[in-house]
Amino acid sequence: MWSFELLPHPDPAQQTVLVVIAPRDKVEEQLTALEQSGFVADRLAVPLAGQLRELPAGDGLWVLAEDGGTVTHFLLAWRVNKVWLDVSMATIPQGGALAGVVEPA
């Protein structure tokens, strides 16, 4: 399953798009739990993606974190010349170590 988020681009002739792809079985597993509580989903959401639009202008590496209860979501985004070059996401269980998620290059 897939979804997308539009991000600003300094060149009006171009558009930056963050594409989200997830295995159908994992999405359906989550949807089943959500629908049992009355929630109806219409798209895949990326935690913290909306905050990319609100960050101050400028280049650099941005690390955003959000407590999800039993997990912490991290969004790492790299911007150069006002263009998002890379956006990555990691989800770490509470009490988990980054060493199990981040591998050295």
For residue range 43-92, what is the model confidence (pLDDT) as tens digits?
A: 777 778 888 888 888 899 999 988 878 888 888 999 999 899 999 888 88
Model-level pTM?
0.66
Burial of 47 (C-beta count, 10 Å sphere; 0-12/13-18/19+): middle
User: Which residue, among 92, 100, 44, has the nearest Cα to 70 in the 3D structure?
Assistant: 92
Q: How high is the mean pLDDT of the chain?
A: 83
Report whether 40 contacts 9 (CB < 8 A): no
